[in-house]
Chain A
Amino acid sequence: MSAASQTGDGPPKKTKEPKNKAITQQTLPACKPVLEPVWVVFIFLAISMVLVPIGAVCLFYGLKAVEVGARYDQICLPGKTNAEREQHILENAANDTNLACSVTLTIMKDMKAPVYVYYELNGYYQNHRRYVKSRSDMQLAAQSKNLATSLCDPEEYLGGNSSFPINPCGLVAWSFFNDTYNILRERNGVSLLLPVSDHHIAFQSDRKYRFANYTPQNFNPELNSHRGGFNLSDTTGGATPGENERFMNWMRLAALPRFRKLWGRIELDLKTNDTVTVNVYNRYNTYKFDGQKSIVLGTTTWLGGRNPFLGIAYLVTGGLSFVLALLYLIVRLAKPRKFGDPASLSFNRQPGAS
């Protein structure tokens, strides 16, 4: 670590004298924000000033969106227990009409188009490790590289026969949600079948990059024995992964066991006191695992669907900041301390030391 430094105008003399550099002498120019009490209060208030208005705005828009929905898995089927209901759907596997039922929703507040149609599942672990892993993004995007279905275990081959590789493979695709809905609006006694669009209900980037148009192979040729899992067809949203946006939404996993997926979009307004009747083909087996199924209609604002949480969180945090400012002021007033007072140094307070 010896540094040659030149002293004076003599010949360069080798010395071990360390160079006078700010970085090694630890004298780098530095800013030291030492907060005086007024600054502390100011900071708390400033945070509060920023957060509270944002919170107000968020709350406003979070509440502006309208949401209406109803759980239907229990009421749609006869039977007292889920086991009986499951029995029912398994027995009527071939006959969808026996599974149909209708749910009536009353619109309490105007809903401007577009009105989004969601199904909501509860108790469904899309975030289970086995479930999450069992898919092949490359296959879905029809990219030539790494088409192997090995990632998809256990839904890799149809019937376990390796000559029938499944495409799209994996548990997620295999368990594709298969309830369908017809939605009727009754306004002033006039009933109208609302057209439910399934276009542009998936993320644009998904439509563009992640799902390709190809004909599925060996993909749920029939409903699986658990009475869940759908195939892709023109009648139910699109025959290829790249066309079927409901499939895309299904493939976007949910982080928690209670989740919604966008099923369709209604381009007509719903008015207060309208009655909406949803005719459900209740095929999907949530009874085995005591899950719940709901149908939800909702509108959005720029901030998203109805969700006051963000606004409240902002308001609480901003309010907390304000309270802390007051608390700090009280502390400050109750026990004032001179700024930079050497008398507050602990070693100055002790007897015997100077």
Chain B
Amino acid sequence: MVKEGVEDYKRYKLDKETNNKPVDVLDPATGQYVTRTWKDVRVGDIVIVTKDQQFPTDLLFLSSESEEGTCYIETMNLDGETNLKIKQAPDDTKDFPKAAFAEFRDAVIECEGPNPRLYQFTGNLLIGGKTMPISPSAILLRGCNLRNTDVAVGAVIYAGHETKIFKNSAPSPSKRSHLERHVDKIIIFMFSLLFSFCICGAVYFAIWTRDKSPKHWYLAPTDTSHQYDPTSPSFVGFASFITSFILYGYLIPISLYVSIEMVKIAQSMGFINNDRDMYHAETDTPALARTSNLNEELGMVNTVLSDKTGTLTRNVMEFFKCSIAGVAYGAGVTEIEKANALRKGTILDDREQPGAAQYRERFYNFYDARLMGDAWNSAHDPGTVEMFFRLLAVCHTVVPDGPTEPDTIKYEAESPDEAALVVAAKVFGFFFFKRTNTTVVVRERTARGEVDVEYEVLNVLEFNSTRKRMSVVVKEKANEKIIIFTKGADTVIYERLDPKYAPNDAMKESTSKHMEEFGAGGLRTLCLSYTEVDREWYNNTWMPEWVAAKTSLTDRDRLVSEASEKIEKDLRLLGCTAIEDKLQEGVPECIRQLALAGIRIWVLTGDKMETAINIAFACSLLTEDMHQFTISVYGVEEIEKAERDGDKVLAERLSHQAVAESIATVEQAMNDKAEGSRFAIVIDGKALAYALSKDLSPAFLRVGLRCKAVVCCRVSPLQKAQVTSLVRSHGDTTLAIGDGANDVGMIQSAHIGVGISGQEGMQAVMSSDFAIAQFRFLTPLLLVHGRYSYKRISRMVLFFFYKNMLFGVTIFAFNAFNGFSGQFIYNDFYMTLFNVVFTALTPIVIGIFDRDVDKEMALKYPGLYIQGQRNEYFNFRAISLWLLSSLYQCSVIMVFVLWGCRPTTSDRASGQPYSMWQTGVLMFTCVVVTVHFQVVQITETWTWAHHLSIWLSQAVWWLYLLAYGVFPLYFSTDLYNLFVGIVSPSAQYWLYVLLVPAACQLPDFFLRMAQKQLYPADHQVVQEIQKKLQREGRSVADERGQVAPSILASIFSGKPNKNKGFVPPYDSRSRFYGLVSSSARNTGRIDTGTRSPVLTHLDQELTDNPYRNRKKSPLPGIAPGPRSPTGPAVMPVAEGMQPSGHAGAEMASASAVAAGRPVLPPIASSPPGAHKPGLGHADLMPSNGSDAPAHTSVPMHHALALAPLPPRTKLPPIHQTSPNAANSSLAPGAIASPTSGPLALHQAVNEHKQEMEAAYAAALR
């Protein structure tokens, strides 16, 4: 609690600091810019942000005082990417100097209500009677920083909690571990035990007092005090209950929570944060446990849900191979190929060629003598090669930065793929070094010499996941030729090739072959093409159409896409590129170990299916011996036909049906397979959307849980979170690992969230519970720390309950002999010290230091982890065994001590019989010693800490007795001179101290040993193996298979032996490691009935991860999916849904109150109440079957839902008014908080989760 208090205070300080940051704001009254604090910024204000400052609110970018009206921003806080993004002010305002805005009196911004979509913005700027659309590229979001730009002027559109970053933040859920929840249950059990003890005692005592005590004259029953008044038994009972409650309170281990907290902090701060195995030297990042609550949860993980890019792979794109004019270039060998070859028993020569070193650089790992230097001039078809390189240098959205020298220039690219292509062009001699708003300048080194060529960029036809291609239309300044360069997925490009252009056909064939090879090697491929455009046609026909489409307020997407189609045609194929996204070090081995540890792995990736499968094979996730099922709705004829016809409802229904059938088929196939078969499922995002729907999710979960691996391709961040919640709803312990902002939802909804730290961005780390630098560190985190922590804490907790039960029951049992009067045989002082001193240290030592097997063995035998998954240490059986053992030992103590030392026998030559306090000391000694004997039994290893705690704790008890006995009488009362004078001279005392613990522990010991003999637990076997190894003189570390670097190597490398962190052993013999040939894959797969030859039919797309290309993808939280050109549609999950007619009415009211419709001062009064239904609301609604037409059985519903759908763009234009239009007295820019905002992401997730759980429960019934 103190911890939380401190955290709250820190947060408060941080809030205050943020609130009081200064920013320059235009004061409309005076026309001057004044400095205000962030908290005083209001919607409609005009603010100035200077270089490297953060944007205080969401701003409409008005002007940057630079020629082009652009600025660069860094979005690290939003999406974790460090590359700069370029923002463009609207044309009408970009030339205004900042002072001009003071005169800016009649401008109005119309825009949608606050919503969490980071990459979308719909709104218009009304200025000077003109209405201009505002593109998302003119929006500066809070949380970003201004870079490389001196000043940016913006108008506040959303402030405070309405900003998009706030709308996106869900309070990170407080996470508690399974174990702790179980502890609560045991505590409740203990409490009920306590209550029943108390009630028994109180009732008995009340009756005894009423009926019997008047006869016991020596208790002076006539001298009534209320507590012992025989005439009022009810009060006696009540008082007795209170007394007993305090007395038997020892049943409840109060110090347990404190001890757990201490132990957990030691585990996380001491061990996890300091583990050299999880230290990444390259980025100087140690592991970080951001919470100490979940240590033991790490030992119980059943399912790991992993992001792919940046988590499994390094997210470092390298230009690796290419094919130009039908000739393949590049000799590199990918990891996957290496693995594949190794599996077949050959070793590929992957040594770098001698000439390659000089060209090696970031983003570039390519060497082919035929192309390097100027050699390409004499290569096959140099003209095509030249065009190929030119395309690489021109067709992109990269921004150069820094000195314009080839060695020093830096490229700011939206995706690392693009950067890789531009760098490749540079190396090939097409050095792109300057970009203005309208031009691209390339220093071309051709046979004709080196010249700077300036290309005027006429249009950029942007990439999106429907188009799967990107084009630029350029005009070469020198010769006025208009050329369109297009790069994209092969299918898309091939469709648009010029059939009349002769070389195309020949090239198509060989290029396809190369692309297939590249793809099989795990490379990301792109197809490149170009063509010349007729100038007349361009200027007169196409350009006007394009402009019209671009500025259209309605149906803009469709129009733009149609216009694009018209120019991207009759292309000439150039070739293809292949980019490698390298796996992180040790990933396959790590995954293999996790698989052996019984952990299911779900990879949730935005990649297309083929890439995902390749990567999955490369990292050992999918293996040859698995039965692999594919669920997809692509390539199903009926669905595609329906989609072509625009019949959304039908397409939906068919898709839903298809997915349902697939899942059923898969389940049937699984049932038919032999026991112990290993399964894997590959599912794509669209099918997943249906699989997650209310009625299918239980079946999907059933199927998924039987798989060793599940690969979900093309999933959205929201789907990631939904899948996580689905798996979690089953009761599995889930761990989500990711590196980017798109993984936040997943990380938060899993039991344990792990962020990849040390790389770009902190979003994932900030919302995670543990942060590690590399995926492979998951192995030590789970198998070592998780396992240890789980065992330690469960053991410690059980020991706590055991000892308290033992102690508490002795007190209760003794009361049975004194009429439950509440007398105890122990002295108050040492009773209170039982938990605090005499038995305090040992559980903590168990919790911190005990380790059943060395960590090397834990890593070598990952199967040990299964114990934690099955919760073998803290299940009902374990708990009840401990408590039974406690009861048994308690009864031994009671019988031996109370009968053996009954006050009718004497224990000494001088004849005095046992007295009460003497028996008490003896009994207490027995309890203390027995408890420590138990520790001795459960201790797996003996370090000095164990010795210290066990022996010291017992010694302290006797020292206490000695010391306390000599304290003055008024202080030590009963104990005064008791030990020295009475207890210790008795031989019987010592004999009992020897006997009772032995009698207590013998059966326990026997059962443990017999169990070990008959049904050895895994860790016990491993302990024996470890012992054997030690006996044979081998160290355990050798077994890990790590060869220590030789001394020579360390001398010549010039560095001291560097700790690289944990690297899983590479086991070449493993049958899990390696890639499967595509034929094997095909035969191994079972067709799931959707007729989806996925690998061949799957649409390719330009970059395989739509989220990396953020420009077109919606924010994390709503699913990007192929945007249908026919406009909004009811599509589950994948696409934002327009509200249906009846739902629309509700939403209308919701969006009417959605405040924060900002204006530029002064307000243009516009009628309130206009709204844009559905935005921000429906987009967030996951497909949960409620209004998504996922039900095949209720077609009427769809009809209802669809019929009144107005296309989004035909909605009445919104009129932005002041936040509270009704209250026109509000000052310009006054902020208003929304009374009801759109559903926030987490709400949607939660709702969905509940529904899924309910559905699952229903399915189980």
Is the pair A321, B821 in contact by a Cβ cutoff of 8 Å? no
Rounded to whole Å, the gap between the CB of B164 and the closest CB of chain A is: 33
In the complex, are the beta carbons of B970 and A128 less than 8 A apart? no
| Cα distance A254–B906 in the bound complex, in angstroms | 12
CB-CB under 8 A for A171 and B991, given A254-B916, A260-B904? no
Q: Are B1002 and A321 in contact (CB under 8 A)?
A: yes
> What is the CA–CA distance of A173 and B1260 in the complex, to the nearest angstrom?
71
Assess the A300–B1023 pair: CB atoms within 8 A. no
> In the complex, A321 Cα to B1000 Cα: how many Å?
11
Q: Is B5 an interface residue (CB 8 A)?
A: no
Nearest CB of chain B from residue A175's CB, rounded to whole Å: 4
Is B542's beta carbon under 8 Å from chain A?
no
Q: Is the CB of B596 within 8 A of A353?
A: yes
Is A131 located at the chain interface by the 8 A CB criterion? yes
- Given A16-B285, A261-B913, the answer on whether A304 and B279 have CB atoms closer than 8 Å is no
Q: Which of A27-35, A72-80, A180-188, A233-241 contacts B (4 or more CB under 8 A)?
A: A27-35
**Inter-chain contacts of A28 with B (CB < 8 A):** 849, 943-945
**Of residues 273 to 290 in B, which have CB atoms within 8 Å of A's CB atoms?**
273-277, 279, 281, 284-286
Residues of B within 8 A of A71 (CB): none
Q: A320 to B1002, Cβ gap below 8 A?
A: yes
Nearest CB of chain B from residue A223's CB, rounded to whole Å: 12
- The reply to whether A331 and B1013 form a contact with Cβ atoms under 8 Å apart is yes
Residue of B941, B970, B1010, B1018 near A328 (CB, 8 A) is B1010
Q: Which of A116, A175, A307 contacts B911 (CB 8 A)?
A: A116
Q: Does B271 contact A (CB under 8 A)?
A: yes
Q: Tell me if B987 and A302 are in contact (CB < 8 A).
A: yes
Contact among B915, B974, B986, B1023 for A254, CB-based, below 8 A: B915
CB-based contact A304/B915 at 8 Å:
no
Q: List which A233-276 residues lie within 8 A (CB) of chain B.
A: 249, 252-262, 265
Q: Number of B residues contacting the other chain (C-beta, 8 Å)? A: 120
Q: How far is the CA of A342 from the CA of B1023 in the complex (A)?
A: 11
Q: Is B20 an interface residue (CB 8 A)?
A: no
> Which of chain A's residues 116-158 have a Cβ closer than 8 Å to chain B?
116, 118, 120, 124-132, 137-138, 141, 143, 145-146, 153-155
* Least CB separation from A29: chain B residue: B943
CB–CB A350/B1013 < 8 A: no
Write the nearest CB–CB distance from A313 to chain B, whole angstroms: 6
Contact between chains at A304 and B969 (CB < 8 Å): no
A347 and chain B: residue at smallest CB distance: B863
Among B274, B676, B978, B999, point to the contact of A350 (Cβ < 8 A). B676
| Cα–Cα distance between A253 and B788 once the two chains are bound (Å) | 49
B913 touches A305 (CB 8 A): yes
Q: Give the residue among A20, A26, A44, A145 with the most B Cβ atoms within 10 A.
A: A26
> Is B356 close to A, CB under 8 A?
no
Interface of A is mostly: loop
> A124 with B913: in contact, given A17-B279, A138-B970 (CB under 8 Å)?
no
A255, B915: Cβ atoms closer than 8 Å: yes
If A262-B911, A288-B217, A304-B906 touch, whether A132 touches B823 (CB-CB below 8 Å) is yes
**Given A51-B995, A313-B900, A328-B1006, A305 and B1028 contact (CB-CB distance below 8 Å):** no
Are B909 and A302 in contact, with the CB atoms below 8 A?
yes
Q: Are A32 and B1023 in contact (CB under 8 A)?
A: yes
- Which residues of chain A come closer than 8 Å to B1005, judged between CB atoms? 43, 324
Q: How long is the Cα–Cα vector from A84 to B273 in the complex, in angstroms? A: 81
Once bound together, how far apart are the Cα atoms of A255 and B942, in whole Å? 39
**Distance in Å: Cβ of B681 to nearest Cβ of chain A:** 17
Question: Residue B969 contacts which of A209, A342, A347 (CB distance < 8 angstroms)?
Answer: A209
Mark B1020-1045 against chain A: 1 for CB-CB distance below 8 A, else 0. Answer: 01111111100000000000000000
Assess whether B898 is in contact with A256, with CB atoms less than 8 Å apart.
yes
B163: which A residues are within 8 A, CB to CB?
none
Cβ–Cβ contact A300 & B995, under 8 A: no
Question: B243 to chain A: which residues have CB within 8 Å?
Answer: 129
In angstroms, Cα B901 to Cα A295, docked, is: 20
A residues near B945, Cβ cutoff 8 Å: 28
A306 surroundings in chain B (CB, below 8 A): 905
Q: Which of B250-309 contact A (CB under 8 A)?
A: 269-271, 273-277, 279, 281, 284-286
Chain A CB count within 10 A is highest, among B823, B942, B944, for B823
Q: Which of A91-99, A103-111, A195-203, A213-221 contacts B (4 or more CB under 8 A)?
A: A195-203
Q: Does B992 contact A (CB under 8 A)?
A: yes
Instruction: Let me know if B1028 and A339 touch, CB within 8 A.
Output: yes
A45 shortest CB reach to chain B, Å: 12
**Cβ < 8 Å to B, chain A residues 20-74:** 20-21, 23-35, 37, 40, 43-44, 47, 51, 54, 58
B216 at the interface (CB under 8 A from A): yes
Supposing A153-B225, A255-B919 touch, asked if A300 and B1002 sit within 8 A by C-beta, the answer is no
Given A171-B220, A255-B919, A310-B988, are A34 and B1006 neighbors across the interface (CB < 8 Å)? no
- Indicate if the CB atoms of A300 and B1059 lie closer than 8 Å: no
Q: Name the residue on A nearest B1030 (C-beta).
A: A32
Task: Please name the residue on chain A nearest to B820 by beta carbon.
Answer: A129
Within 8 A of A (CB), among B127-151: none
Task: Report Cα–Cα, A97/B982, bound state, in Å.
Answer: 38
Cross-chain contact A304 with B904 (CB below 8 angstroms): no
Complex contacts, B281 vs chain A, CB 8 Å:
17
Q: Find out whether the CB atom of A17 lies under 8 angstroms from the CB atom of B225.
A: no
Scan residues 932-969 of chain B and give those whose CB is less than 8 A from a CB of chain A.
Answer: 940-946, 968-969
Asked whether A154 lies within 8 Å of B220 as measured between CB atoms, the reply is: yes
Q: Are B215 and A34 in contact (CB under 8 A)?
A: no
Minimum Cβ distance to chain A for residue B916 (Å): 4
Most chain B C-beta atoms within 10 Å of own C-beta, residue among A51, A200, A304, A332: A304
Nearest CB of B to A322, in Å: 11
Q: How many angstroms from the CA of A203 to the CA of B286 in the assembled complex?
A: 65
Partner of B1021 from the list A259, A321, A344, A354 (CB cut-off 8 Å) is A344
Smallest CB gap from A18: residue in B? B274
Question: A307 and B905: CB pair below 8 A?
Answer: yes
Question: Is A88 positioned at the interface, with any CB of B under 8 Å from its CB?
Answer: no
**A305-B911 contact in complex given A340-B1025, A353-B596, C-beta closer than 8 Å:** yes
Given contacts A118-B913, A145-B970, A265-B911, contact A24 B217 (CB under 8 A): no
- List the A side residues contacting B968 at CB < 8 Å: 143, 145
The residues of B that contact A342 with a CB separation of less than 8 Å are 1021, 1025
In the complex, are the beta carbons of A202 and B223 less than 8 A apart?
Answer: no
Contact A125 B1021 (CB under 8 A): no
B238 proximal to A (CB < 8 A): no
B675: CB under 8 A from chain A?
yes
- The one of B270, B286, B992, B998 in contact with A51, judged by C-beta atoms closer than 8 angstroms, is B998
Any B CB within 8 A of the CB of A190: no
Within the complex, the shortest CB–CB distance from A236 to chain B, in Å, comes to: 19
Q: Does B861 contact A (CB under 8 A)?
A: yes
- The distance in angstroms between the C-alpha atoms of A126 and B269, with both chains bound, is 54
Q: List A contacts of B906 (CB < 8 A).
A: 116, 260, 262, 298, 300, 304-305, 307
Task: Given A1-B286, A34-B1027, A143-B969, decide whether A345 and B861 contact each other with a Cβ distance below 8 A.
Answer: yes
| B residues whose Cβ falls under 8 Å from a Cβ of A | 212, 215-220, 223, 225, 227-228, 243, 269-271, 273-277, 279, 281, 284-286, 596, 598, 675-678, 784, 788, 814, 817-819, 821-823, 825, 849, 851, 854-855, 861, 863, 866, 896, 898-917, 919-920, 940-946, 968-970, 973-974, 976-978, 980-982, 986-988, 991-992, 994-995, 998-999, 1002-1003, 1005-1006, 1009-1010, 1013-1014, 1016, 1018, 1021-1028, 1055-1056, 1059, 1071
Q: Known A-B contacts: A129-B823, A340-B1025, A350-B676. Give 5 more (CB < 8 A).
A: A26-B271, A118-B911, A255-B898, A303-B987, A345-B1021
Closest 3 A-B residue pairs measured CB to CB? A205-B981, A347-B863, A340-B1024
- 29 residue pairs from A and B, CB less than 8 Å apart: A17-B1059, A18-B276, A30-B941, A32-B942, A37-B1013, A130-B220, A145-B968, A154-B220, A171-B219, A200-B910, A203-B981, A205-B980, A253-B915, A254-B915, A258-B904, A261-B913, A288-B215, A301-B909, A304-B905, A304-B907, A304-B988, A310-B992, A317-B1002, A321-B1002, A324-B1002, A331-B1014, A339-B1024, A342-B1025, A347-B596
